[in-house]
A and B are shown apart, each in its own frame.
Chain A
Amino acid sequence: MKAFQNRTYRVWIVTALLFVGMGMVAAGAAVAAGQDYPGKSMLMIAPSKPGSGFDTTMRAVVATLTREKLVTVPMTVMNMAGSVPGTAQIVLRYSNDPNMIAVMSTTGSLNYATGLSPYYHKDWRPIARLISAYYGIFVRQDSPYKTLGDLIKDLQEKPGETPLSGGYSDDRLCYGALFSKAGIDITKINYAAFAGGIESAGVVLEGSAKALVSTIDDVMGLLESKQLRLLAVSPGKRMEGPLLKDVPTFREAGVDIEWDNFRYILGGKGMPDYAVKYWQGVLAKMVKTPTWQEMIKKYRWGDSFLAEGLDKFLDEKQAVIIDVVKTLGMNKKK
């Protein structure tokens, strides 16, 4: 054609072809992005201080994924000051970052129910529930209480002389739910709150407090060294292991309730579907590995993997927690 002999035309055609070519490559890249995920390093957020439940969970996940070679990109664990500013950061800063995942638990739902945090699970994308941590009611080894019923009796008859101790947030939620279901007037109970289960153990060991409410993994050492004794545990069915298999559940001990602190992995609200699917796949594989099984045995966690139906589970749990919080009067924060 005559056009091709004109140099200007040739330049224009080549340029046009280049643009089309680039466009195709870009489109191809957008599609391929799904295939290349995660591509670069992942940010693993544990929204509380190092050493806390979130932190140990997330680190256990990272350790397992690394050891079992399920994820090959670098994973950096980032801690936050606390669950409330932590969730705020996750929502405000990382909602649209596909290379961020975080861990959350009952605490998130609790903070929302009490009004401490404006965010809850609808502000992010839940990916998969991994574990449940269970609570126990502990007493000192030489305590006169032999069953949960004994303790409940004293709480009903002489609440002023039966002080309890435990953590200030989710431990307190468990104690509130348990004892109000047992028919006790919560407002009459003296509950000394500490930062966590293990910190609350001191006053029980010394004798000033009569019983301790704590997640079991927090005080496992004291249980093993026989300084504390378990009255009852919170899951629906009995737990495993030499120290736990003979301990009745709340239900068996007479209070019709089961309670747990579930922990789940989430991504930002804007996380693309391919990223969610990727992590659901990886985590499903992870929970079957021997390393992970070892981890949960070590921490006395319950294996409660759930990906399909997690949103529905969270909706239901949120409703229950809002209810308990109202009963306990914990929502008078604003």
Chain B
Amino acid sequence: MDLLANLSLGFSQAISLQNLAYCFIGALYGTVIGVLPGIGPVVGISILLPITFSLPPVSAVIMLAGIYYGSAYGGSTTSILVNTPGEASAVVTCFDGYQMAIQGRAKAALATAAIGSFFAGTFATVAIMLLAMPIARLGLKFTPAEYFSLLLLALTMVGTLATESPVKGLFATLVGLLLSTVGMDLQTGRVRFAFGSPWLIEGIDFIVVAIGLFAISEILVQAEKIKKYGLQKREQISGRYWITREELKQSFMPYVRGTVIGFLVGVLPGAGSTPATFFSYAVEKKVSKHPETFGKGAIEGVAGPESANNAANQGALVPLLTLGIPGSATTAIMLGAFMIYGIQPGPLLFEKDPAFVWTIIASMYIGNIILLILNLPLVNIFAKLLDLPAALLYSMVLAFCTVGVYSIRFAVFDVFLMIIFGIVGYFMRKHDYPAAPLLLALVLGEMMEQGLRRALTLSNGDWSVFVTRPISLGLLTVTFLSVTYSFVKVLRKRSLNH
């Protein structure tokens, strides 16, 4: 059939020695970029961009794509080992991944992340192959009104992320929403809460806050431990075993759910992979038979989001390749790169140059295989890092975080911000305020607000647009039901206790 013919053509080109090499280099570089905190694929791709100019366009795109999904593999490594997200979409992996590492199950966490990424990457590529155009058209139906309703649903799911006290969770959510308003508002062009600082005009960077709240606070906690108990000889927590069959079984459905959720969210232009990971985590927690294990080392909490991450990255390629509309910040750079190579992504690309597109798709399969082969042996090596004395390990983490955050936009301001949030995170931990809702609100707040206001601008101030549009109505209904259900549950528990 046409499909198979195209695919085999693609593969024949993709497995040329040259293209394999570029794929490998891209994937390796991408993994490293993902591991380093602060530097994400956005910066990583732009650094390597000039080198790609001298390559033939197909090879250049193969390498860029390798970096792109390679970084999705690498980001979770430091999240799991030292509670330091390597990039924004790896933040959710910190929640349970780090707990697993502390309990001596680091290898299992790293392994499930790698396998889940491979699973998602492969199946998402199949989805691109088969469903690219129809899904892209569906993605276009998501206007600002639908974005708002979808993100409102996501924020209400935040309730499930607050383990102990819903009130504290709500408070954290509101703080996150407040922080998300800092910066320039696109609709009026006015700058809010910048207090005259040019560094806040673009808003508060999510990854800076995440690294502060997670990594720096962890460093403070570790430092406090050393102060209290002295420099203890660290027990071998890298763990003996790799990953058990039981754990793989537990991870399987999260892989599937994560892939589906991730891909669908990734296809929506502007969404990106970070919200996808939060969605996946919330869904896993909701469908789990043991939701109380989440936040304490539930492997589903790593498997799902890691799959979602990779699937979302692939999903973001759909609007890019089919319509030429970037789905995320990283795909926006790739679009710029494509134009320099002389490629115009869009529906014409599939028609005018199918060999090109199919070679890219074939190389995505290959890239995922390469990354799996690359990452699985690395699991043991990385886990050994945990055997380093805590003082040494966390000092290194602090150094990496500082350099990584600084390198985002060469601003010492960001480093100070990271430290401030580190201190805030430390106190939040001491008083059981959950960080997850704050981060989710920070990441979604701007999109949600812009969605709301754009929707109202386009409807000339008519609020009914949120309920007359079918997709939006559907999402709002689910939100309403989910909130009501949670309330009913709480009320019932209270009346039982009385």
Contact = CB atoms under 8 A, between A and B. Distances in A.
Interface in B315-337: 323-326, 329, 332-337
Contact of A193 (B187, B348, B409): B187
Given A50-B333, A51-B333, A85-B202, A195 B186 contact: yes
Contact of A221 (B184, B198, B344): B344
B382 interface: no
Interface residues of B, number: 52
A213 B407 CA distance: 34
A53 to B, nearest CB: 9
Contacts of A220: 344
B191 interface: yes
Interface in A208-248: 208-209, 217, 220-222, 224-225, 227
B141 interface: yes
A129 to B, nearest CB: 21
B198 A114 contact: no
A217 B269 CA distance: 19
A55 interface: yes
B409 A190 contact: no
B292 to A, nearest CB: 41
Contacts of B326: 51, 198-199
A194 B324 contact: no
A133 B43 CA distance: 26
Interface residues of A, number: 58
A200 to B, nearest CB: 10
A81 B411 contact: yes
Contacts of B458: 163, 165, 190, 192, 203, 208-209
B147 to A, nearest CB: 10
A42 interface: no
A50 B46 contact: yes
A59 interface: yes
A29 B201 CA distance: 43
Nearest to B454: A192
B333 A85 contact: no
Nearest to B197: A85
A90 B199 CA distance: 14
Contact of A222 (B202, B335, B346): B346
Contact of B202 (A59, A82, A201): A82
A80 B201 CA distance: 12
Interface string B186-212: 110111000000110110000000000
Given A192-B454, A203-B458, A81 B202 contact: yes
Contact of A206 (B141, B189, B333, B345): B141
Contacts of B56: none
A203 B323 CA distance: 13
Given A192-B458, A222-B324, A202 B198 contact: no
A60 B340 CA distance: 7
B346 A160 contact: no
B340 A56 contact: yes
Contact of A225 (B53, B202, B347, B459): B347
A84 interface: yes
16 contacts: A49-B42, A55-B336, A59-B50, A66-B53, A77-B50, A78-B410, A79-B409, A81-B202, A116-B191, A160-B460, A168-B184, A191-B457, A206-B140, A221-B344, A224-B344, A333-B190
Give 6 closest A-B pairs by Cβ, nearest first.
A221-B324, A51-B336, A50-B46, A221-B346, A160-B460, A81-B409
Interface of B: 42-43, 45-46, 49-50, 53, 140-141, 143-144, 184, 186-187, 189-191, 198-199, 201-202, 269-270, 323-326, 329, 332-337, 339-340, 342, 344-348, 408-411, 454, 457-461
